[in-house]
């Protein structure tokens, strides 16, 4: 080997290229510029004693791989390296493909970011084959059967893992899908990439809850390319109580999912075992058009309705599909279809001005069962209130109203909910670097219609079931808020349910705020803004309800007249919650009528 010494006076380069040589860095000595030693300041590189070698560094050897095995364990575990080149991975059972995904397969056993998994226990005793089109011997060897997923002991205790709402164990999520209450369970399906940290391989994940608070993730429900022809995009769920479809095969009512088979059309899958397994209807697709995200509801007749036909008259109603549609005349719109059997659909009308993930539901106004309105709700949280006759939606007003603010998108509400409740969950668009999962969901909130001075508006408040998580509670009342004199409450932990009421009396300008461990919520009275969102006091008062989770805060202003989702800029233990006032140039001092802080326990705490 021949030493190559850097001469004094040579400039230090950030990229020194010796084309004919393979170079290895040996003992580091200072490179000098104009005879002055360089100590590495200014981003320069200290280079010294480079050696030439005829030995090439080892590079991973990629190639096609396959292995045959008999299923004997619960999972097939898969090592993931975020950012690795995509590999096509396929699992076959008795010669039939049951999973086909593109994934970032790790190549080195010592460089695995996290572990994905397929649940395979339903195939016990059957012959399986796993194939990869591009993998190293070492990486492919890590794909194996197991009864426990590597790393699962740390799930749900990660630093930023949400503790108050559902999140999938690993992989990516976006839109909530198929939300329906059935036989004592709240079903939350969701857009899911089970083998990657980004949006790809759209699969319907699945979780259930008995109380809207504590969730159990079930095996994935509906799969791309092996059930659907393409990716399984968003859609809705419901219960076919009258067996209008004829899909029922046993004592259970049919639970069905209506979704977009991307690029193919609107399609249905159905379950006779409470959503534990699904059958893909062989007559799919049922509606072909340019669009996606079907919402399917049952429209029950009253004495004012004219049935679609004799069959609908016998059933006492019909199915309605509200689906995002792209049309040469109506442009981006919601198209309304009807059916009596979930298979044959008729187009009736278009509502222009809407895009993806539409919602359609009816609610009483001011809890008056005799005064009801229909709502069309878009994926962007803009909505319209009006009338619906089972075929056509007619808005009561021009334009749209807005309920949600922040990184909140593509929400959906549960069908078939008890007591007529309308419970909503949305996708919170935020990344979780360094964690095995990515993105999250909102805390469930209940929707109501109420009369305001601006007309009828939608309100959203955290569901009452949050009280199941209350532990210790702290309250202060009737405190005057003078500038520079905050009302402080020392509380431990990261998880809180907070209620604050401010009374402004004769005050007309100024700012009141809550500080939650360095995360500040401000209301500017003069501007009428809560964290930049328009909101006016009601009867001279501002009410805030705040749900604080590890990574995010959700703020309901004035009983949910606005609902703001905010990632926490400062995470970790809170320590103190403070209510305070900034300068009030017009004089006067607002009053803190109430500040109540409930400490919360994690939903993942098994004790």
Q: Looking at the DSSP assignment, which residues form a beta bridge with residue 404?
A: 563
**Cα–Cα distance, 556 to 128 (Å, whole number):** 51
Ramachandran sector of residue 308 (left: φ over 0; alpha: ψ -120 to 50; beta: rest): alpha
Residue corresponding to tokens 């503790």: 163
Task: Name, in order, each residue with C-beta under 8 angstroms of 283's C-beta and a sequence gap of 6 or more.
Answer: 343
- The H or E element spanning position 236 is strand 232-240
Residues 340, 311 contacting (CB under 8 angstroms): yes
User: Could you count the other beta carbons within 10 Å of the beta carbon of residue 348?
Assistant: 15
Structure tokens given for 410: 């593509």
Distance CA 246, CA 310 (A): 18
Helix (H, G, I), strand (E, B) or coil at 121: helix
The end-to-end CA distance of the chain, in Å, is 64
Which residue out of 175, 261, 325, 531 is catalytically annotated?
A: 175
Determine the Cα–Cα distance for residues 215 and 208; give it in Å rounded to an integer.
6
Tokens 């309920």, residue located: 403
Neighbours of 282 (CB within 10 A): 5
Helix (H) or strand (E) holding 294: strand 291-300
Cα–Cα distance between 24 and 462 in angstroms, integer? 60
Tokens of residue 555, six digits:
């703020």
Active site residue 147: no
- Which residues are annotated as catalytic? 175
């Amino acid at each position: 080997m021949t030493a190559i010494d850097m001469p004094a006076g040579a400039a230090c380069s950030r990229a020194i290229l010796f084309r004919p040589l393979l170079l290895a860095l040996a003992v580091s000595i200072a490179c000098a510029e104009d005879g002055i030693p360089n100590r590495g300041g200014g981003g320069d590189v200290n280079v010294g004693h480079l050696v030439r070698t005829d030995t090439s560094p080892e590079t991973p050897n990629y190639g096609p791989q396959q292995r045959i095995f008999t299923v004997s364990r619960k999972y097939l575990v898969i090592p993931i390296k975020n950012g690795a080149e995509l590999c096509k991975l396929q699992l076959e059972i008795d010669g039939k493909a049951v999973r086909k995904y593109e994934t970032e397969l790790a190549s080195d056993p010592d460089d695995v970011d996290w572990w994905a998994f397929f649940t395979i226990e339903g195939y016990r005793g059957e012959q399986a084959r796993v194939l990869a089109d591009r993998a190293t011997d070492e990486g492919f060897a890590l794909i194996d059967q197991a009864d426990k997923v590597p790393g699962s002991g740390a799930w749900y205790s990660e630093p930023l893992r949400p503790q108050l709402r559902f999140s999938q164990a690993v992989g990516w999520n976006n839109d909530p899908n198929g939300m329906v209450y059935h036989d004592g369970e709240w079903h939350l399906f969701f857009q899911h990439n089970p083998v990657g940290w980004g949006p790809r391989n759209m699969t319907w994940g699945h979780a259930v809850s008995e109380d809207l608070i504590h969730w159990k993730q079930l095996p994935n429900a509906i799969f791309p390319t092996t059930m659907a022809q393409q990716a399984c995009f968003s859609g809705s769920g419901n219960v076919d109580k009258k067996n209008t479809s004829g899909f029922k095969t046993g004592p259970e009512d049919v639970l069905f999912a209506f979704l977009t088979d991307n690029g193919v059309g609107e399609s249905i899958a159905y379950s006779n075992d409470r959503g534990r397994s699904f059958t893909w209807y062989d007559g799919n697709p049922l509606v072909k058009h340019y669009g996606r995200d079907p919402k399917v509801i049952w429209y029950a007749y009253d004495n004012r309705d004219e049935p679609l036909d004799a069959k609908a008259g016998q059933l006492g109603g019909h199915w309605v599909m509200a689906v995002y549609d792209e049309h040469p005349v109506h442009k981006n719109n919601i198209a309304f279809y009807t059916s009596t059997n979930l298979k044959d659909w008729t187009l009736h009308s278009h509502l222009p001005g809407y895009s993806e993930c539409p919602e359609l539901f009816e609610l009483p106004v001011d809890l008056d069962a005799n005064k009801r309105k229909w709502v069309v709700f878009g994926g962007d949280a803009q909505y319209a209130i009006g009338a619906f006759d089972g075929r056509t939606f007619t808005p009561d007003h021009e334009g749209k109203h807005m309920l949600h603010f922040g990184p909140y998108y593509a929400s959906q509400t549960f069908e078939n909910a008890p007591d007529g409740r309308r419970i909503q969950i949305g996708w919170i668009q935020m990344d979780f670097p360094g964690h095995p999962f990515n993105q999250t969901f909102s805390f469930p909130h209940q929707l109501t219609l109420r009369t305001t001075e601006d007309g009828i508006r939608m309100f959203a408040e955290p569901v009452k079931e949050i009280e199941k998580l209350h532990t210790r509670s702290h309250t202060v009342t009737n405190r005057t808020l003078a500038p520079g004199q905050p009302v402080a409450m020392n509380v431990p932990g990261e998880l809180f349910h907070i209620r604050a009421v401010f009374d402004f009396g004769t005050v007309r300008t100024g700012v009141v705020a809550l500080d939650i461990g360095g995360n500040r919520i401000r209301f500017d009275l003069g501007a009428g803004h809560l964290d930049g969102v328009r909101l006016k006091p009601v009867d001279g008062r501002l009410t805030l309800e705040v749900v604080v989770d590890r990574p995010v805060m959700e703020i309901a202003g004035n009983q949910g007249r606005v609902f703001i989702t905010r990632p926490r800029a400062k995470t970790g233990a809170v320590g103190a919650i403070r209510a305070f006032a900034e300068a009030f140039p017009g004089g006067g001092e607002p009053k803190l009528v109430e500040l109540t802080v409930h400490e919360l326990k994690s939903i993942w705490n098994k004790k």
